[in-house]
């Protein structure tokens, strides 16, 4: 029986289909992974060695480790790039990074009261986490995940992020420039994914904006006047529980929520670089077009010395020249 129910999901006015669920040894897993298609994988045992990672255990073994904790005034934790905050924009993020020891984080989680700022630990697993936890980390099913890297010709593993979230927290819709094998250790997380082909429905912020890669659409209260094509967005959904691994393909948009279940979630992601390009084949894939668009935006920003001028130049190039009405 599933350890969750529909009442624990937030409600959105979005259409979605289900992400396929397959056993780890089903041959279809590799073909989905290698074709950049999401799949929820059962039975891989990727993180079976750390199912004991809860607040008490980690507090015992990581108590004085300094951790990155996002603190938010609401339930949304919209990531931003600090380096892209410039004096020319007004930028008031609702969630901010804060450093605290694991002990401090665990105590704040245990004594948290409704209305207080929400917390979300997002800590890279590196050798600062203490030898006991490193020993657990070594026991991940590395053979399995590295065999997927090899089969799909992904690039290097770049990092593992440990995520500990309060119930109901949300990571709003965004895409990453890496392949992500997402493993849940404790609790349930709901994912809504959108393929790169739905770029136009999701309106990501401009590349130079601190919210680069994040959708501008607030799923709780979509502004259909500003973002009319969001009505056409159609996602792929999965609820991911302990020992499950969700493959989030590179450049796929994803919204993530920890279910409103009365508990917290613990999860770990495995990020891999994109594989080297052996031979470019046409037509290009949608995610390759997204990479090109990013480069065009970056190049124009650099050439013009002011990201604020990028939009008007793109408009000058396009409007009346490449717009379908005019052709």
Tell me the CA distances in angstroms from 228 to 14, 216, 225, one per residue in order.
Answer: 13, 12, 6
Binding segment for Fe ion among 42-50, 107-115, 172-180, 193-201 (CB under 5 A)?
172-180
Q: Report helix, strand or coil for 25.
A: coil
Q: Are 170 and 77 in contact (CB under 8 A)?
A: yes
Residue 325 CB, nearest approach to ligand SIN (Å): 38
Closest to ligand SIN by CB, 185 vs 310, is 185
The token pair at 154 is 């992904």
Residue 171 CB, nearest approach to ligand SIN (Å): 3
Contacts of 233 (CB under 8 A, 6+ apart): 14, 15, 194, 198, 201, 202
Q: Which residue is nearest to ligand SIN (CB)?
A: 171
Q: Report helix, strand or coil for 219.
A: coil
Question: Residue 8 has what DSSP assignment?
Answer: G
The residue within the footprint of ligand SIN, chosen from 164, 256, 268, 310 (CB under 6 A), is: 256
The residue within the footprint of ligand SIN, chosen from 171, 179, 214, 216 (CB under 6 A), is: 171
Sign of CA dihedral 66, 169, 85, 175: positive
Instruction: Count the site residues for Fe ion by CB under 5 A.
Output: 1
On the CB side of 31, how many CA atoms lie within 13 Å of its CA?
5
Told to check if 129 binds ligand SIN by CB under 6 A, we report no
Closest to ligand SIN by CB, 71 vs 314, is 71
- Give residues 265-284 in contact with Fe ion (rule: CB under 5 A): none
The residue within the footprint of Fe ion, chosen from 54, 107, 176, 218 (CB under 5 A), is: 176
The residue within the footprint of ligand SIN, chosen from 36, 187, 269, 301 (CB under 6 A), is: 269
Closest to Fe ion by CB, 25 vs 81, is 81
Among ligand SIN, Fe ion, none, the one that 163 touches (CB under a kind-dependent 5 to 8 A) is: ligand SIN
Told to check if 163 binds ligand SIN by CB under 6 A, we report yes
Tell me the CA distances in angstroms from 219 to 88, 172, 257, one per residue in order.
Answer: 27, 8, 12
Residue 84 CB, nearest approach to Fe ion (Å): 17
Closest to ligand SIN by CB, 26 vs 112, is 112
Interhelix angle 310-318/286-304, rounded to 10 degrees, is 120
Closest to Fe ion by CB, 176 vs 220, is 176
Torsion of CA 28, 33, 38, 41, to 10 degrees: 60
Binding segment for Fe ion among 99-107, 174-182, 214-222, 227-235 (CB under 5 A)?
174-182
Among ligand SIN, Fe ion, none, the one that 269 touches (CB under a kind-dependent 5 to 8 A) is: ligand SIN
Q: How far apart are CA 311 and CA 316, in angstroms?
A: 9
In which region does residue 225 sit, left (phi positive, over 0), alpha (psi from -120 to 50) or beta (all else)? alpha
Told to check if 180 binds ligand SIN by CB under 6 A, we report yes
Tell me the CA distances in angstroms from 226 to 107, 204, 209, 216, one per residue in order.
Answer: 42, 12, 18, 10
Mask for 290-309, x = binds ligand SIN (CB under 6 A): --------------------
Residues that bind ligand SIN (CB under 6 A): 163, 171, 180, 254, 256, 267, 269
Residues that bind Fe ion (CB under 5 A): 176
């Amino acid at each position: 029986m599933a350890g969750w129910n529909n009442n624990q999901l937030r409600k959105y006015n979005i259409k979605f289909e289900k992400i396929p669920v397959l056993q780890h040894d089903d041959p279809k897993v590799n073909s989905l992974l290698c074709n950049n298609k999401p799949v929820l994988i059962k039975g891989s045992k990727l993180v079976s060695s750390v199912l004991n990672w809860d607040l008490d255990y980690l507090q015992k073994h990581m108590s004085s480790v300094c951790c990155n904790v996002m603190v938010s005034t609401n339930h949304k934790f919209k990531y931003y790039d600090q380096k892209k905050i410039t004096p020319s924009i007004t930028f008031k993020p609702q969630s901010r990074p804060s450093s605290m020891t694991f002990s401090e984080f665990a105590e704040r989680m245990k004594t948290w009261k409704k209305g207080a700022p929400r917390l979300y630990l997002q800590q890279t697993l590196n050798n600062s986490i203490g030898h006991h936890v490193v020993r657990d980390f070594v026991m991940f099913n590395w053979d399995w995940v590295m065999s997927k890297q090899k089969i799909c010709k992904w690039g290097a593993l770049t990092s593992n992020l440990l995520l500990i979230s309060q119930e109901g927290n949300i990571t709003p819709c965004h895409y990453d420039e890496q392949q992500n094998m997402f493993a849940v250790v404790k609790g349930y997380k709901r994912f809504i994914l959108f393929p790169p082909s739905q770029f136009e429905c999701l309106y990501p912020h401009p590349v130079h904006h601190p919210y680069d890669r994040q959708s501008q659409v607030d799923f709780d209260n979509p502004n259909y006047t500003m973002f009319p094509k969001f009505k056409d967005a159609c996602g792929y959904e999965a609820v991911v529980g302990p020992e499950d691994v969700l493959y989030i393909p590179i450049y796929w948009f994803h919204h993530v929520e920890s279910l409103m279940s009365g508990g917290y979630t613990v999860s770990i992601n495995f990020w891999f670089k994109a594989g080297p390009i052996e031979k470019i084949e046409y037509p290009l894939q949608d995610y390759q077009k997204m990479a090109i668009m990013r480069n065009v935006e970056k190049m124009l920003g650099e050439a013009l010395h002011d990201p604020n001028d990028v939009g008007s130049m793109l408009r000058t190039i396009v409007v009346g020249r490449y717009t379908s009405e005019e052709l």
